[in-house]
Structure 1
Amino acid sequence: MNRRYGSSSTSVDAARTVANHYSARRNQTFEEREVSPIVHLRKLNNWIKSVLIQLYAHRGDVVLDLGCGKGGDLYKWDKAGITYYVGIDIAQGSIQDCHARYTNARFRFPARLICGDIAEMRLDQALADELPFDICSCQFALHYSWTTEARARRAIANISATLRPGGTCIGTIPDANVIIRKLRETRGLCFGNSVYSVRFDEEFSEKKFKSSSPFGIQYMFHLEGVVDCPESLVPFDVFESLVKEYDMELVFVKNFHEFVHHYMKLPKYKEMRTIGVLGGQSTISEDEWEVAYLYLSFVVRKRGQC
């Protein structure tokens, strides 16, 4: 990567790169997914999202899905018994695929799908007739807003502005602490394994990151068959500070490894073993498990009571 995406113009370039990347990705068939080298990682990610939804969604909820992608979580929301769904994604191709998925299935809830950048839009205006939402979900997407402070603030402000008092936001993002630690443990500026790689630009050759500049810290991320575009670190202390500033509070944060070890102990979530993630005939590979360590889950709640 030859440049940082710190200014407003280059942030637009970064957003366009991300949008083009995900628009170009086509939906894989079941057979293709099953032979993917990261099939168990994808199942693990889906299990984590399913647990988050089971923990915090309630029957009858109105849902806002930020970075909804191709609609892979629609089935999870249908199982939760929600009554209305709004999905927003920056990639036009993903929205088209999400629409096709919604149209071809028999979901029990009405839905509205929007192509837009959650780090640029004013969602309190765009969704004025649908406010407030009971629950917001932002899965593997919020870090794309961290190219500038203004974009990060807009994304967090949008979450707060669309939630009802007492409403929750569930999400997953890269774990900045883990990524920085892995970078410092490697000799160069790139680390990874057979299924992923992270590459920082030469400007980070000293592997030092100023707390005064927590936005626009870019790296190139490749995940076999899924991701190949620039991403941004999200220092979690900065994230938590913004959450508080926008009238929300952190409920919990767990690295994926911690999340798995905690919730798989609970009987109601042990179906993980039956889908070949941990244990059983087909177990997640060490390389996939290393990728899982790069991510964390979080839950924040809008202050007040409904």
Structure 2
Amino acid sequence: MASTSGSKRKLPEDNLPGKEYNIPQVEKFVTSEKNAKKDKSRIFYLRNFNNWVKSVLIRMHILQRDYTVLDMCCGKGGDLLKWKEGNISYLVGADIAATSIEQCDTRYNSDRMRGRHRQPLFNAEFHTADCTRVRLRDVYKNPYMRFNIASCQFSLQYCFESAAQAKMMLLNLCENLRPGGFLIGTTIDSNELVCRFRSSTEGDHMCGSSIYSAIPSFNIDDIPLFGAKYNFHLEGVVDVPEYLIHFLLLVRMLEEHNMELVLKQDFHEFFHTRQQFVEDVDLLYRMQALDRQTGEISQEEWDVIGLYLVFAFRKRLQ
């Protein structure tokens, strides 16, 4: 098992939620966890931890009700509930996979019907589009709409195959963003990944463990700005080529869209920073991002978590 210091990733006892729950609630929760462990994959906590990071990041940047949001590379709609909890008023979702958009739309309409007599769901539109090749504002119902937030979660690393694709992706993310609006996201920490490549004793510079592997297809001593391809495999989730993102290059490219960097932390740093916020610690356990009884996560999962970072850019007012 792993913790936040040394060989264990564990929260201080003072941060473990518990006093606010009654005993039957606690026992019911613990019992359900024990039964669920039989079916847990080796990346159960990793997936939940990543979802917790997204939840906190989104909540940090929703500053008031009725936001309009662009969810780029929205997939099957995994963040729909997060936007609902943020009380947004309108969502535009886009993804390259038509099947994912169909499932996202079905999920949205199902949630909308369930919420008709309770909390109303936001309005939305969903589009199948390659966001690295198509100008999205041309497919919006209202090409002049303005977003308070543009979100791109765990997807930006697929967009740096070429300069043209990266430029189109960033144009789509920033073009309709309001002054003062935020671009938020999660992506691979390329510096950390390259360090692992260079520390590898394998002939092909492969790094990894029993739950993930990454193999570079480029010269690690002469890394190109674009098209630095590596093959990434994560057990049961990802097995596709990705591309390094030179973060300084990303900052420079976004400056052309009048964007300024306001947040950049790897997931480990982000985790430690958010420990001071009771609501984030509580959410960590409610989402089962750590073992509820021990406050721990496996070392292998923690190592993969360290491969990612969160970022936020804000559009300048002028």
TM over 0.5: yes
Q: Structure 1 67/59 Cα, relative in aligned 2: closer, same or farther at 3 Å?
A: same
- CA radius of gyration, larger in: 2
1:220 aligns with 2:231: yes
The 5 Å alignment of 1:226-305 reads 226-271=237-282, 272-278=284-290, 280-281=292-293, 283-304=296-317
Letter in 1 for 2:134: M
Deviations 1:24-68 (A, max 9, x none): xxxxxxx79952221111111111111111110131001100010
- How many pairs does the alignment contain? 270
Letter in 2 for 1:117: D
Structure 1 residues not aligned, in runs of 5+: 1-30
Letter in 2 for 1:284: I
Question: Distance in 1 between the 2:144 and 2:303 partners?
Answer: 40
**How many Å apart are 1:280 and its aligned residue?**
3.0
Contact 1:123/1:162 (CA < 8 Å) preserved in 2? no
Which stretch has the larger CA shift, 116-125 or 46-55? 116-125
Structure 2 residues not aligned, in runs of 5+: 1-35, 116-120
Displaced runs of 4 or more, over 6 A: none
Letter in 2 for 1:51: V
Question: Distance in 1 between the 2:38 and 2:226 partners?
Answer: 34
**How many Å apart are 1:177 and its aligned residue?**
0.4
| Alpha-carbon RMSD | 1.8
Q: Structure 1 275/132 Cα, relative in aligned 2: closer, same or farther at 3 Å?
A: closer
Identify the residue that residue 167 of structure 2 maps to in structure 1: 153
1:52 aligns with 2:53: no
Contact 2:45/2:291 (CA < 8 Å) preserved in 1? no
**How many Å apart are 1:273 and its aligned residue?**
3.2
Bigger relative contact order, structure 1 or 2 (CA pairs below 8 A, ≥6 apart): 2
Question: Distance in 1 between the 2:39 and 2:48 partners?
Answer: 10
Question: Distance in 1 between the 2:147 and 2:108 partners?
Answer: 20
Question: Distance in 2 between the 1:273 and 1:101 partners?
Answer: 25
Residue of structure 2 aligned with 1:176, choices 162, 178, 190: 190
Residue of structure 2 aligned with 1:40, choices 38, 41, 45: 45
**How many Å apart are 1:131 and its aligned residue?**
1.4
Q: Structure 1 274/255 Cα, relative in aligned 2: closer, same or farther at 3 Å?
A: same
Q: Secondary structure at the match of 1:105?
A: helix
TM-score by length of 1: 0.84
Question: Distance in 2 between the 1:165 and 1:125 partners?
Answer: 21
Identical positions, percent = 40
Residue of structure 2 aligned with 1:62, choices 52, 56, 68: 68
Deviations 1:208-248 (A, max 9, x none): 134xx310000000011110000000010111111112211
Identify the residue that residue 18 of structure 1 maps to in structure 2: none
TM-score by length of 2: 0.81
